[in-house]
Structure 1
Amino acid sequence: MKATIWHNPSCSKSRAALETLRARDDIELEIVQYLKHPPSREKLAQLYRDAGMPPREGLRTQGTDAQERGLTEAGDETVIEAMAADPKLIERPLVETDKGVRLCRPPERIEEIL
């Protein structure tokens, strides 16, 4: 199985999800440090669509100015554009496999797509 994790190494939840993926020998793993290599707006839209969640639910509010910018009440396109322009607004970790996408908070949610 192929898995891609949109990872931030300074985040404990992201590290826990990565550890779960690395512990399995049946996973071909791609690690994307999204702060260095941000996803395109098209990729973000696809990730949230495949996760079955509105982009606003994947918006990081802690440690960002998302609320001040009105993003917590904004529409999908506005949120996606903001995330693509400023990847620190993306809540992590997002994990994508053939079985779907999950925002792995808590990290145990990863089991739903493995």
Structure 2
Amino acid sequence: MIMDVTIYHNPACGTSRNTLALIRAAGIEPKVVEYLKTPPTRDELARMIADAGLAVRQAIREKGTPYAELGLDRPDLTDEQLLDAMLKDPILINRPFVVTPLGTRLARPSEAVLDILPETFKGAFVKEDGEQVLDERGKRIG
């Protein structure tokens, strides 16, 4: 299937790898943006966050990042200040963001991407940790 799909991917992240595999299981080869090497622009990042229905704070990754050291947990920080921090240090951008014509999602858990993909799966899909997401008919479980 031809569909314009972009994933903001971190190959070191299991959730990101599972999301990419789910997209490919739908028969789609997405544009893969390794956002640590090629971060989105400020406008792209702000638009993805808004389109995913998130607040800027919800799009920040805390685990394994300098979030606490930078004091980003301070409630008085504005969205602009949070976006500045994310652009300065892209590891703070939670992942993976996926953009398709059907919508934008922060695919955490990875199966959240199913909400914005066509139902073109041909069979079962099992995540790296062994959790089955799609049955043998390619239908979502749960």
TM bucket by the smaller chain? Answer: over 0.9
Which residue is equivalent to 1:85? 88
- Give the SS at the match of 1:31: strand
How many aligned residue pairs are there? 113
C-alpha distance in 2, partners of 1:98/1:6? Answer: 15
CA contact under 8 A between 1:6 and 1:34: conserved in structure 2? yes
Which AA in structure 1 matches 2:93?
Answer: I
**Bigger relative contact order, structure 1 or 2, given CA contacts below 8 A and separation 6+?**
1
TM-score (norm 2): 0.75
User: Alpha-carbon deviation of 1:28?
Assistant: 4.7
C-alpha distance in 2, partners of 1:113/1:75? Answer: 29
Within a 5 Å distance, the mapping from 1:1-114 to structure 2 comes to 1-25=3-27, 27-72=28-73, 73=75, 74-114=77-117
Q: What is the RMSD computed on CA atoms of the aligned residues?
A: 1.1
Moved over 4 A (4+): none
C-alpha distance in 2, partners of 1:14/1:28? Answer: 15
User: Alpha-carbon deviation of 1:7?
Assistant: 0.1
Between 1:60-69 and 1:6-15, the stretch displaced more is 60-69
Which AA in structure 2 matches 1:104?
Answer: A
C-alpha distance in 1, partners of 2:113/2:83? Answer: 23
- Give the SS at the match of 1:2: coil
Using the aligned pairs only, state the percent identity: 47
- Rg (Cα) greater in structure: 2
Select the structure that is richer in helix.
1
